[in-house]
Amino acid sequence: MTDDLQRLESYLQVNRESQLAFECYGDLLRMAHNLNIPNAAGIADKVLSGVVAENPNNYDATVALASLYVTLHQDLAPKAEALFNRAVELKPDVGNALIYQGLGLACVYQGKWEQALVHLGKYLDMVPTDKRISDLQKNLSRGHYPTLIHTPLNPSPTIAESKSVVPKLQKEDKPWWRLW
């Protein structure tokens, strides 16, 4: 992951006009956040928000930004919901399960139980084996709603505060493909 981030950062130094490269970088940062790489979420937010602002019809960047927000903090659930809905508007015929799972979770975080049930149902139509979501849907349909606990949103670092999310390696590691 860190090697890929380093390569993309180097590429972007030379190719500042490549929206696709920024989109890929932002989505990779989103994934890096899921792997607990420090500062990744804040930079992913800035990069993906910039791509979406420049091209509001960019489906992939919209989905990536919504996916970041729904996993980042419950205060961002309304933004995630709006972005997932925008993605559905952009490509209504694409049955992207990730969007309906994200919409369902965004609605759960906001206490929109009926809407959550609808979206989670669409998700489960596409991914019927997801036991976690199936259990959540069953509980919601029985009126067993989770207790929403609010935690303050800590501001994420900005790009100006962190030039790179790529941690410095402690030693020179050989490439994964070099066995000897």
Domain membership flag for residue 150: no
Same domain, 66 and 107: no
Position 146 pLDDT exceeds 70: yes
Sign (positive/negative) of CA torsion 89, 20, 22, 94?
A: positive
pTM reported for the whole predicted model: 0.79
Higher pLDDT, 80 or 31: 80
Last residue within a domain, chosen from 44, 74, 104: 74
Structural domain boundaries enclosing 121 = 95-145
Domain membership flag for residue 179: no
What pLDDT is recorded for position 153? 59
Domain membership flag for residue 82: no
Position 39 pLDDT exceeds 90: no
Domain membership flag for residue 118: yes
Pair of tokens at residue 11: 């590429």
Domain membership flag for residue 180: no
Report the C-alpha gap between 68 and 132 in whole angstroms: 20
Domain membership flag for residue 154: no
Domain membership flag for residue 152: no
Same domain, 5 and 69: yes
- pLDDT tens sequence across 114-123: 999 999 999 9
Q: How far does the chain reach from its first CA to its final CA, in angstroms?
A: 22
Query: Domain count of the chain?
Result: 2
